[in-house]
Amino acid sequence: MAHSIDPSMDKTTDQPMKHSSTKPGKKILEVPCPICRTPTPWEGNPLRPFCSERCKNKDLAAWADGGYAIPTEDSPSSEGGDS
């Protein structure tokens, strides 16, 4: 059975995302920062989905160092064997 993605749910905790309100009747979607998990406003946040420049740079460094690489298995034809 395929599961649909619900944008109002936090994928890491399977909990509803928090909404805060600055004006009565106006809710602001908050999402957890992918690095430190701090609730972070989605709209109007130039660093989204990150909470700070520090977390943004930490994520960039992890990406540049290959921290998000997906391991793969080499196929027999890529080993340079006899054909």
Go through 10-45 and write b for each residue having 16 or more CB atoms within 10 A of its CB, e for each that does not: beeeeeebeeeeeeeeeeeebbbbebeeeebeeeee
Average of pLDDT values for 50-69? Answer: 94
Query: Looking at the predicted structure, is the pLDDT value of residue 66 above 60?
Result: yes
| pLDDT band of 53, cuts 50, 70, 90 | very high
Domain 28-67: homologous superfamily in CATH: Erythroid Transcription Factor GATA-1, subunit A (3.30.50.10)
Task: Please give the mean pLDDT across all residues of the chain.
Answer: 76
Q: What is the pLDDT of residues 14-23, one digit of tens each?
A: 555 555 545 5
Domain boundaries, the chain: 28-67
